[in-house]
Chains A and B, each alone.
Chain A
């Protein structure tokens, strides 16, 4: 077994620690970007739903601005956003290099992405339920918390998994600013040094993370779905 591994994965076997470090960095970036970006994206998504025409807090101007803002940010390729946000990153984190620095552009790109997904998920909630809740005398905030977020929960979990997977992909690109992680490992070591086995194992680890996210979200959906 050992001989087989050394034959086919020579570079991996010689320094397995780098894979542990890179996996931790990828999880670190994904986790914190998901927490900050997910939280803010959820809020933005809810605001998009309630300010749209016919919404609970209808506000055409605000909706127009937010809607265009989301489109704008989503139109910028992530690799360019990394460069564009360098100044802001420097200001917030104090450096533009490393996993922590990569969090700023990651969060910035996750917010509009997730907001749009949440918006779509919440628009799936039957308008009849909103009407019924209004007829019962619920407050608007009550309707957001007890109807939209509760009835749209399955949809939100589903798009969370999607966002998570997309985020894992983005962390690979964050390697471009020296963020580390599995993607960085696959490119800077595996590709640039022609160590194909490193690329292969890094890819495998990324796939495992992706499948794990999908698996967990499916478990949650199964538990909370009653349709």
Chain B
């Protein structure tokens, strides 16, 4: 378990300008979870993730990894502890002068491990990330996704319990991002690896994280289970991030632009989770309230295997019936948001 307590990081560029990169952050990350920290660039998430392996010493606060306070360790003990915390980076940071095999073996050298054992470990790791055939190739000959796989193999060489991912997919195209995320998910399940992942893409959080925290100006403004945060975002920032993950904003604009609403039409957004998605709600509306619903946009996403649905519909009917029907939907656990009414 990782516990960050009252972490603050202040950089003083010079005596006058102090920059609070991280302000009073408290975070607990359970073993075996994939935890996503999301925020715009400059939010302090890169600094925060570097506090976890003490690449960045906090100005204030303590870091407990399995109960051990890292800030109290001497350099040598800290180095030992860092072997339990792997890290991968946005730009992969592979050693260009060494082959893929040598890169993966790099953390194993000078540790009193025999050459044979090192080689066996390298082969095992390259197999795990699916790059067995590249062992004697240099990094410059690999694609971005392959480089990140090598970086992952290297980070796992010392059998860490924790893997820190600093914008690990930000330099990759969407398809490769998906593959890397799948690999991380596999490692999380297979090795019970705790993964802390920082990103500016909510898509990434949506894809594999169980828990998430949203950062703004060095502070955590929202945190919790991914499902809960996506369903009931509390802050505007979180809502914005979620909208990007569902690529909703764009579509919404187009839908509203292109729909010529007649006076008795009301445009609403319906969002629902879990088993409500299995009920024929729109048919219900017609039967009970004689409301005709026209679907303009619909989408179902799966968060942690739970379906989350979103519909944009225009409802045609009398004002009274519409408000009754919306109340009914609410009672069924559907969240309703009026987008614009005709008047």
Contacts and interface: CB of A to CB of B under 8 A. Distances in A.
B93 A131 contact: yes
A122 interface: no
A151 to B, nearest CB: 5
B79 A137 contact: yes
Interface string B97-116: 11000000011011000000
A226 B82 contact: no
Interface in A60-105: none
Contacts of B55: 131, 134-135
Given A137-B82, A227-B140, A132 B89 contact: yes
B110 A142 contact: yes
A132 B90 CA distance: 11
A151 B96 contact: yes
Contacts of B139: 226
A160 B94 CA distance: 25
Interface residues of B, number: 28
Interface in B108-161: 109-110, 138-140, 154-155, 158
B93 A136 contact: no
A21 to B, nearest CB: 41
B335 interface: no
Given A142-B110, A227-B140, A137 B158 contact: yes
Given A131-B55, A226-B138, A136 B91 contact: no
A27 interface: no
B79 A128 contact: no
Interface string A147-166: 10011011000000000000
Contacts of B91: 126, 128
A139 B79 contact: yes
B83 A136 contact: yes
Max count, chain B CB within 10 A of own CB: residue among A126, A129, A147, A150 = A129
Contact of A137 (B95, B98, B107): B107
A139 B107 CA distance: 11
B140 A137 contact: no
B95 A138 contact: no
A224 interface: yes
Contacts of A126: 91, 93
Max count, chain A CB within 10 A of own CB: residue among B91, B96, B155 = B96
A137 B83 contact: yes
B266 interface: no
A137 B89 CA distance: 16
Contacts of A139: 79
Given A131-B55, A137-B79, A142-B110, A153 B97 contact: yes
Interface string A192-227: 000000000000000000000000000000001011
A129 B95 contact: yes
A138 B138 CA distance: 22
A154 B140 CA distance: 15
Contacts of B95: 129, 147, 150-151
B2 to A, nearest CB: 15
Contacts of B110: 142
Given A128-B91, A132-B89, 5 more contacts: A126-B91, A131-B89, A135-B53, A136-B158, A227-B140
8 contacts: A126-B91, A126-B93, A129-B93, A131-B89, A135-B86, A135-B164, A226-B139, A227-B140
